[in-house]
Structures are given as C-alpha cells and as structure tokens.
Chains A and B, each alone.
Chain A
C-alpha cells in the first residue's frame, strides 16, 4: 500500500485516538505519539509497537503517523491506523 496523501481517522474523544497519516518523503515509518505523560510512561512503547505492526502488516513503507491519544486501547489503534492508511492510499 502506498500513502499518496494526508488522511485521518478516529477522534479526539474519550477512549479514542485521532490518527493522522501523511506521506514521508524522507522514507521510513515515523511515529509521533501525543498523550498524557502517565500513559506515555507506562504504555508508550506498547502503543508504538501496535501502530508499527499494523503499518507493516499493510505493507506500508514510507509514512508519518501522528497519534493524538485520549486513552485508546490497542484494538482502537489497530482500527484507526488501518482506516487512516486506507483513506490515504485511495
């Protein structure tokens, strides 16, 4: 899957996450997670891992992903990331 434009999915609402994806001209997978410090310290690594896994599963190689988190669980990340990537590849 190739990312050809900017797209987003999800929302900045309790238990959700707003995922914004954009093409990465410099190449590679770049992930930026914005969330409460108490979540980042305990789950930051796990969240990045989940995002990366979904990106790789879809065969995306060059993308910038920004996540504005409001306490979303892993399954929400998987869904929102996939939706955003698919929207960005259409």
Chain B
C-alpha cells in the first residue's frame, strides 16, 4: 500500500466502536478524545483508549489519537497517558504553529523517559480554523513529526457561522488550500468526512470531487464508508 487513503475517526469513549473499528481495515484509525467526548468523560475516555491500544487486535491499522488542545487543560494529560503505548501518532485539533512545537517538546521528553525511539510518534494537525487555514504551510513545517493534515470542514463552518451544503462550494477554497499545501510539503492530506452515513452514492461523488482537488485521502465516520474511500483514492 503506497499511501494512507482512509482515516476512520471514532469516539474514544465507546468500547463497542473501539472493538468494531479494526474490522473495516481503515489505513489510519483515529481514536478521538476531543470532539467526540464530553468534558466530564475525558478522563474516562483517555484510560479506555490507552487500555484498548494495549489490548485490541489493532495490528493491521495505524493508531492515531486525537488529543485535546493544550489550552483546554486536558491535552497534556492525554499526551502523558497515551505516549507510553504503541501508537503511530497524535492528531492535534485547532492546530497552530506554537501548539505543534509545544507538543513536540513534550513528546521529546516523554519518548526519552519511556525509552521509545526518538521522533517516532507522528503528528497530524487538524486545519479547522480560519487562522490555521492561513497558516497551513507553516503548520506543516512546524515539526518534522508532521506526517499529514486533516481538514475539518465542520469546524471551519462553525467558526464562520456558515451552513455546509452537498456540493461543498463554501469550503472549496479551504479544501484546495489544504490539498495544495500538503502536496508541496510532500505529506498526506485527509478531507473532511461525509456526514450522511446512509448515503453511499453521495459519499462517492464527494470523495471523487475532493480527489480531483488534490487530496490524497479522506476521513470517515462510519466503517461502511471505508471501501468506497479506498476505491476512489487508490
């Protein structure tokens, strides 16, 4: 397999979803401690994800954990807990250059203390704010650990107060920007997920459209979406 085509994002606090996820063979499995978990349950999700990574049959997928931001107060504990298990990388929401560099410093210390190979844990910034969109190139080069970027259209729409549509014209510029910047940097780019999990035809059209913009992959929120994404981004 040449590059990562799919990224399945699942809420980290759901044992059932943690157990079902590897079955769909996504290239990357993102265990979410942030958007998909309520504040009062973030401590619970963190431990569940750590125990799951140690226990589950995740041999054939690459595990990435979407941690909380450092500003939220949860992020540091996430990194501390999760970096001691075997995983591919961390996904950083609301990414900006300072955050990436701060996370990198924490990781360097953690890797040294736990005797892990230096620089092994990769970073996947989420481009989901207007500022991060403007700073995309800088974010991608903020650390050598950055292995790809995830464009979250829902985050951007929320910030701008706009409604997302089927054809995605309102996020066209943002998509193109991220796709191009990743190309130049030689990194994987993952497009925002198609939210209607029952509409597989719509997903295929949407995926084809974003591949045509230059994305190398797409995120999914349901296992049923993976096969189509693999076909389109082959």
Is chain B in direct contact with chain A in the complex (CB below 8 A)? yes
Interface string of B51-68 (1 = CB under 8 A from A): 110111000000000000
Q: Which residue of A lies closest to B50 (CB)?
A: A79
Interface residues of chain B: helix, strand, loop or mixed (majority): helix
Residues of B within 8 A of A79 (CB): 44, 47-48, 50-52
Q: Which residue of A lies closest to B44 (CB)?
A: A83
Question: In the complex, which residues of chain A have a beta carbon less than 8 angstroms from the beta carbon of B19?
Answer: 15, 73
Given known pairs A13-B16, A15-B19, A16-B16, the reply for A73 and B55 (CB within 8 Å) is yes
Q: Are A80 and B16 in contact (CB under 8 A)?
A: no
A10's partner among B44, B50, B55, B56 (CB-CB below 8 A) is B44
Known: A14-B16, A16-B15. A9 touches B55 (CB 8 A): no
Of the four ranges (under 10, 10 to 19, 20 to 34, 35 or more), the interface on chain B belongs to 10 to 19
A75 close to B52 (CB less than 8 A): yes
Note all chain A residues with C-beta closer than 8 A to B16.
Answer: 13-16
Q: Is the CB of A75 within 8 A of B51?
A: yes
Task: Across the interface, name the chain B residue whose C-beta is closest to A17.
Answer: B15
Is A2's beta carbon under 8 Å from chain B?
Answer: no
Chain A residues with Cβ under 8 A from B15's Cβ?
15-16, 72-73, 76
CB of A89 closer than 8 Å to a CB of B: no
A15 to B19, CA, bound (A): 9
Distance to closest chain B CB from A77 (angstroms): 9
B135 within 8 A of A: no
Q: Which 9 A-B pairs have the closest CB atoms?
A: A75-B55, A15-B16, A79-B48, A75-B51, A79-B47, A79-B51, A15-B15, A83-B44, A76-B15
A/B interface sample: 11 pairs, CB < 8 A: A13-B16, A14-B16, A16-B14, A73-B55, A74-B55, A78-B47, A79-B48, A79-B50, A83-B43, A86-B43, A87-B43
A-B contacts besides A74-B55, A79-B52, 7 pairs, CB < 8 Å: A13-B16, A75-B55, A78-B51, A80-B47, A83-B47, A83-B48, A87-B43
